Structures are given as structure tokens and as C-alpha cells.
């Protein structure tokens, strides 16, 4: 039994090591002739973990989907995770007869997502309200429809520098229709002056935009490409929600032909890669997460923008055609620490809102995720040998990958003694000082103080005060009569990780000493 669990841990350790060394490799797709449009789309889909997961996990295709395409995608993704792959199965399944004819990437992005069905493509699907208002009587008509990408206008009105934000503004602008287009109003019983606009009702996890680069020119009686340059921000703030750019499909050339490639950020190592058919190149991992966070490094090649010397063609670029933004979710990853029998598991269960952790001392760390909260409960760390201590910490990191951003030191207030204070400082030393800003003290009632319904005056307990001060005065008292305490505690923790700007503990400088 113990041998089995030891084996398990070392396997998990290996996975962890692999991940921490950023040993990810991506592979290219063979161009069958002029299928770079398809390659750029397939790589963007492959690099969208949720989509990959749902493609890989279907063994029985849902009713509304093209079973064959789903099978072909499964095959392709399997191959693509280990080697350069061919898209022959996909082109056949999509009925692409002539692989030497260039097609529109956005059109195929939409085609593929429609064909695999809503359950597989749900991560891209949002809901949009199209609203018309009668200006005479204020009667409003709302039509809700789903979307998988938003067409953004990039008309050059004042010859100003274009940005995605400006396009978005233009997209959501209210328009007064020309008299010829006035709509019939039920209430006024006639065609009346009409105002129309769109608003997003439900944001998808992945928000996709495509730019209106190709339009029919009535003077030239043909389609032309609008190659106007624009800025593509790395993150967009829409209605208190942040969306982070992770994929850009570029088109270089004119309407009748050109070349597609994609720039995609790996969610494994946060590095950007250029996917150009067979060729995949890492584009430097030094791009700042948000433009103002750190100076952006200049790369060796000549793809530097002239405006701000950023690496990617995201500034004043004529290339971007399709943009994919991922909704930013902040994940709370809690590590429960403390001497055994201090109700750590109960605190964990309280936070999760379910009885997951057993109410006895566990043998090895256990982790559970509910929504965007992960809780890891630890065994008695004080009795571990240095080796198993190191192993256990690795396990904790794995369970809260890439590492906990909140550490809760659970201790019964009534039993707070020199011994408790010693244990706290002991663990703190072993975990390193970086953990300090992530730590919060949780006072449980212990058995003596079942109902701690009065506010605790920490200042009266000198030892307690000192420990709390080490954690920058962050503490929370579990009070069984407060029914909102789980959400209050979670809110406090989210504030703490926001202050820490998303950093987390890796315990890298842990000394291998006996506890
Ligand atoms: N009768 C008795 N009850 C205890 C003793 N120690 C803890 N308890 C109770 O048993 C429960 C143990 O709480 P847990 O939440 O499992 O403690 P823990 O710190 O999470 O333990 P781990 O499983 O190691 O995480 C609590 O309700 C304690 O009040 C003890 O020595 N005797
Ligand atoms: Zn009306
Ligand atoms: Zn730039």
C-alpha cells in the first residue's frame, strides 16, 4: 500500500518537474497547397485548452455535430501533440476540394465550430442582444442571438490611428436608421424613426473578433482588402471583466491571395509562438503581461514595431485579421497549514461549501477544486522526514498548480501558546519569506470556544498579535454563528491575491531541514 502511494507521488513529481521546466513543444501543420488559412485556424483551436479537452473527451459524438469532423479533429490533435501533422482528414471532412485555392480563415473558423456542434464549441459562444427602439414612443424590441465571433469595423474615418478599442466603440454605437430603413412599430402602428444598437448579453470564455478587412467595393465592383494598420491591445477591459489576448491570426497580402499565420500564447508556459504552417517558433517569453508592467524587450529579428519597439505586430500593424481574447479568471488556490486537529479540514470544507476533506488527520495532501477555488489540505507536516517533507510540498504545488496564492495557517485561538507560536515560525522559516505576503491566520474556535460570536480583540493577546503582524495583520476568526463567513473569507483572500498581483508560492528556497 505504502509502496503504491510512494510510486504515485514520484510519478506526480515527474509531471510537476516537466511542467516547471516549461518543456512544452509545439508542432506545425503541413500546407497542402494554399491551406495556410486552415492551419492558422486549427492551431488557434488546438491551443485553446477547453476546446481541445472537449474534442478529446467525446467518444460519442453529440447529435447535432458532424461526427466525422470531430473524429478527424481528435486524430489531428493527437498527432499534433507529438509531431508535425497533416490536415488531409480535415480538408476531406470539410469538403474542401481544391487545396490550392486560398479561403477565408474566419469563414473556416466559423464553419468548423458550427460543424462540431454547440457542446464542443461552447467556450466560444456568447449571446448578443440586437435592440431596436422606436424614437416616437420609446418602444424597445430586443432580439437575442448567439455569436462565436464579432465583426469589428475598421473604417478610416479621420485618418486616426486605429485601435481595437475604437472599433469596439464603433460596433456598440447607437445608429439612427435612414428613413428608408425605418422599422414598423407595433405601438405606433406604422414605420417610425428607429434607433438600433447591439449589446453583449453573455460573454463567452473566449471572445473572438474578426476585423472587417474584406469588403465589396461598389466603385471597383470587386472585393478589396482594407489593410489599415491598427493597435491590438494585449488585454481589453469590458464591463469590469478583463480579456487577455492569446491568439492572433494574421493575413499578409491582398484579397485574391496572401499568406496566413498565427501568433499564439501558450497557456502552459505563457510564451508566444509563431505558427507558420510547418514552422513553429518561440517568439520570446519576455513580452510583458500587461503593457505597463515591465519594459518590453527588443527581439533579434526585424519584426519590431516602429512605434513602441514591441516585439509583436500588435501595434500599428496591417496584419491582424482575427483576434482571440480569453476571459481572465482569477483562481484562488489555498493551502491549509497548521498543526493536526486544529480543524483545518473543517475550514477547507467551509470554503468549498461541501464535505470533501475527512475529519481526521490525513496521510498525504488532498486537493479539491470547486469553481475557481482550489483548496489543498495537508497532513501533519511536523512529523515528516526532510525527504517526505520535500515530496509533500511538491505534491501541494501540484495540487494547486502552479502553486498556492493563499496560505491559511489554521490555529485554535484558545490554544494559542508558546508552542503554537513556535510551530508557526518553524514552518514559516522552512517555507521561505516569500510566503509571508500570501499568508492569513485563521482562528478556529477549538472545542472550548464553540461559539465565538463576539469580535475577538487580538490586541489583548500579545503572542497572537505578533504572529498576526508577521502576516501583515491578516487574520480571520471562524465564527459559527456567521452564515456568510465562507464568502467573507473568500472575498478577503481575493483581495489579498489582487494585492499580490497574482503571484504565488513555489517554495523554491525551502531549506531541507527537519521540522
Ligand atoms: N475528541 C477529540 N476531538 C478532537 C481532537 N482533536 C481534534 N478533534 C476534533 O476533531 C475535529 C478534527 O478537526 P479536523 O478538521 O479534522 O482537524 P484537522 O486539523 O483538519 O486535521 P487534518 O485532517 O490533519 O487536517 C475537530 O472538530 C476537533 O474539534 C481530540 O484530540 N479529541
Ligand atoms: Zn413607436
Ligand atoms: Zn508597438
Structure confidence by residue, pLDDT tens digits, 32-90: 999 999 999 999 999 999 999 989 887 765 555 557 899 999 999 999 999 999 999 99
Spatial strand order in the sheet of 439-444? 366-370, 373-377, 332-337, 406-412, 439-444, 475-477
Distance (angstroms) between ligand 3 centre and the Cα of 164 equals 14
Domain covering 332-499 assigned CATH 3.40.50.300 in the classification: yes
* Closest CA to ligand 1's atom 7: 341
Going by CA atoms, what residue is nearest to atom 16 of ligand 1?
Answer: 359
Alpha-carbon distance of 433 to 412, in angstroms, equals 23
Residues 6+ apart with CB under 8 A from 229: 161, 162, 316, 317, 318
The answer to whether the CB of 515 is under 6 A from ligand 1 is: no
Which ligand is the nearest neighbour of the Cα of 350?
1
pLDDT of 210 above 80: yes
Residue with the nearest Cα to atom 30 of ligand 1?
341
Ligand 3 (ion): residues with CB under 5 Å are 305, 307-308, 310, 315
Determine whether the shortest distance from the Cβ of 347 to ligand 1 is under 6 A.
Answer: no
pLDDT at 348: 94
| pLDDT reported for residue 511 | 44
Bridging pattern class, strands 241-253 and 258-265: antiparallel
Q: What is the torsional sign of CA 471, 473, 479, 484?
A: negative
Q: Report the percentage of the chain scoring pLDDT > 90.
A: 42
Residue-level pLDDT at 456: 61
Pairwise CA distance, residues 258 & 251, whole Å: 7
Please tell me if the CB atom of residue 341 comes closer than 6 angstroms to any atom of ligand 1. yes
Span from the CA of 360 to the centroid of ligand 1 (angstroms): 6
- Ligand 1 atom nearest 343 alpha carbon: 15
Residues 361 and 341: beta-carbon distance below 8 Å? yes
Q: How far apart are CA 362 and CA 344, in angstroms?
A: 11
- The mean pLDDT value for 366-383 works out to 89
Q: Whose CA is nearest to atom 15 of ligand 1?
A: 343
- In a mutational test of the pocket of ligand 1, which residue from 343, 352, 377 has the highest number of ligand atoms less than 8 Å from its CB? 343
Percent of the chain with pLDDT over 70: 81
Confidence of residue 290 (pLDDT cuts 50, 70, 90): very low
Report, as an integer, the average pLDDT of 397-410.
90
Q: What is the pLDDT of residues 386-401, one digit of tens each?
A: 888 889 999 998 898 8
d(CA 496, CA 334): 12
Rounded Cα–Cα distance for residues 283 and 300 (Å)? 10
CB 233 within 8 A of CB 291: yes
Pick the residue whose CA is nearest to atom 4 on ligand 1.
341
Which is more confidently placed, 284 or 29? 29
Q: What is the mean pLDDT of the chain?
A: 82
pLDDT value of position 287: 44
pLDDT tens digits, one per residue of 307-334: 444 555 566 778 889 999 998 877 899 9
Q: Which of 334, 338, 341, 480 to mutate to test the pocket of ligand 1 (most atoms within 8 A of CB)?
A: 341
**Range 194-213 average pLDDT:** 93
Q: Which fold has domain 24-127+162-327?
A: Cathepsin B; Chain A (3.90.70)
Tell how far the Cα of 286 is from the centroid of ligand 3, in angstroms. Answer: 14
Backbone phi, then psi, for 282, in 5-degree steps?
Answer: -75, 135
> Closest-lying ligand to the alpha carbon of 378?
1
**Which residues have CB under 8 Å from 183's CB, separation 6+?**
132, 134, 141, 177, 191, 192, 194
pLDDT digits (tens, 9 = 90+) for 101-154: 999 999 999 999 999 988 899 999 999 999 999 999 999 999 999 999 999 988
- Residues sharing a CB contact under 8 Å with residue 135, sequence separation 6 or more, in sequence order: 176, 192, 193, 194, 195
Query: According to the model, what pLDDT value does residue 402 have?
Result: 76
Highest mean pLDDT among 185-199, 227-241, 386-400, 476-490: 185-199
Q: What is the pLDDT of residue 276?
A: 95
Cis peptide before 286 (omega within 30 of 0): no
Through-space distance between the first and last CA atoms of the chain, rounded to whole angstroms: 26
Taking only the tens place, the pLDDT of each residue in 468-481 is: 888 888 998 887 66
Kindly report, residue by residue over 440-479, the tens digit of the pLDDT: 999 887 544 445 555 566 666 778 888 888 888 899 888 7
Q: Give 241's pLDDT tier (boundaries 50, 70, 90).
A: low
Residue 384 CA to residue 273 CA, distance in Å, equals: 42
**400 CA from centroid of ligand 2 (Å):** 56
Domain layout of the chain by residue ranges? 24-127+162-327, 332-499
Residue 300 has a pLDDT of 34
What percentage of the chain's residues is helix, strand, coil (to nearest 5)?
Answer: 30, 25, 40
Question: What mean pLDDT do residues 489-502 have?
Answer: 83
* Other beta carbons within 10 Å of 432: 15
Average pLDDT on 361-378 reads 90
Residue 514 to residue 387: CA distance in whole angstroms:
9
Amino acid at each position: 500500500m505504502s509502496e503504491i502511494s510512494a510510486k504515485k507521488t514520484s510519478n506526480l513529481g515527474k509531471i510537476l518537474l516537466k511542467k516547471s521546466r516549461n518543456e512544452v513543444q509545439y508542432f506545425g501543420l503541413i500546407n497542402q497547397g494554399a491551406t495556410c488559412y486552415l492551419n492558422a485556424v486549427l492551431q488557434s483551436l488546438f491551443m485553446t485548452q477547453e476546446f481541445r479537452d472537449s474534442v478529446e473527451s467525446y467518444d460519442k459524438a453529440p447529435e447535432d455535430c458532424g461526427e466525422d469532423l470531430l473524429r478527424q479533429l481528435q486524430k489531428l490533435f493527437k498527432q499534433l501533440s507529438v509531431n508535425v501533422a497533416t490536415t488531409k482528414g480535415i480538408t476531406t471532412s470539410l469538403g474542401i476540394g481544391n487545396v490550392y485555392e486560398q479561403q477565408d480563415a474566419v469563414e473556416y473558423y466559423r464553419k468548423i465550430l458550427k460543424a462540431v456542434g454547440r457542446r464542443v464549441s461552447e467556450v466560444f459562444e456568447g449571446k448578443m442582444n440586437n435592440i431596436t427602439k422606436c424614437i416616437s414612443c420609446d418602444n424597445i424590441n430586443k432580439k437575442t442571438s448567439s455569436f462565436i465571433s464579432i465583426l469589428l469595423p475598421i473604417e478610416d474615418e479621420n485618418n486616426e490611428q486605429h485601435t481595437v478599442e475604437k472599433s469596439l466603440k464603433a460596433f456598440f454605437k447607437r445608429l439612427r436608421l435612414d428613413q428608408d430603413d425605418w422599422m414598423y412599430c407595433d405601438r405606433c402602428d406604422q414605420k417610425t424613426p428607429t434607433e438600433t444598437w447591439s449589446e453583449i448579453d453573455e460573454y463567452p470564455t473566449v471572445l473572438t473578433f474578426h476585423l472587417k478587412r474584406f469588403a465589396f467595393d461598389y466603385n471597383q465592383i470587386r472585393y478589396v482588402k482594407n489593410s489599415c494598420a491598427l493597435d491590438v491591445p494585449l488585454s481589453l477591459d469590458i464591463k469590469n471583466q478583463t480579456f487577455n489576448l492569446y491568439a492572433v491570426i494574421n493575413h499578409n497580402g491582398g484579397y485574391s491571395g496572401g499568406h496566413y499565420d498565427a501568433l499564439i500564447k501558450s497557456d502552459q508556459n505563457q510564451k508566444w509562438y509563431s505558427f507558420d504552417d510547418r514552422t513553429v517558433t518561440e517568439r520570446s517569453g519576455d513580452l510583458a503581461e500587461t503593457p505597463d508592467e515591465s519594459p518590453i524587450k527588443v527581439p533579434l529579428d526585424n519584426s519590431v514595431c516602429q512605434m513602441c519597439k514591441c516585439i509583436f505586430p500588435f501595434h500599428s500593424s496591417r496584419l491582424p485579421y482575427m483576434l482571440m481574447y480569453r476571459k481572465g479568471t482569477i483562481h484562488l488556490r489555498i493551502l491549509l497549514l497548521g498543526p493536526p486537529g486544529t480543524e483545518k479540514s473543517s475550514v477547507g470544507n467551509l470554503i468549498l461549501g461541501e464535505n470533501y476533506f475527512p475529519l481526521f488527520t490525513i496521510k498525504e495532501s488532498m486537493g479539491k477544486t470547486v469553481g475557481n477555488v482550489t483548496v489543498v489540505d495537508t497532513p501533519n507536516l511536523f512529523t515528516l522526514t526532510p525527504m517526505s517533507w520535500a515530496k509533500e510540498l511538491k505534491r501541494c504545488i501540484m495540487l494547486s498548480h502552479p502553486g498556492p496564492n493563499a496560505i491559511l495557517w489554521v490555529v485554535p485561538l484558545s490554544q494559542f501558546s508558546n508552542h503554537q507560536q513556535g510551530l508557526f515560525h518553524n514552518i514559516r522559516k522552512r517555507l521561505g519569506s516569500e510566503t509571508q505576503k500570501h499568508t492569513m491566520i485563521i482562528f478556529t474556535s477549538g472545542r472550548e470556544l464553540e461559539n465565538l460570536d463576539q469580535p475577538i480583540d487580538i490586541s489583548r493577546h500579545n503572542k497572537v498579535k505578533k504572529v498576526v503582524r508577521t502576516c501583515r495583520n491578516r487574520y480571520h476568526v471562524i465564527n459559527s454563528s456567521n452564515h456568510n463567513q465562507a464568502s467573507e473569507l473568500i472575498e478577503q483572500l481575493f483581495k489579498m491575491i489582487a494585492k499580490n498581483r497574482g503571484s504565488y508560492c513555489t517554495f523554491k528556497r525551502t531549506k531541507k531541514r527537519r521540522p
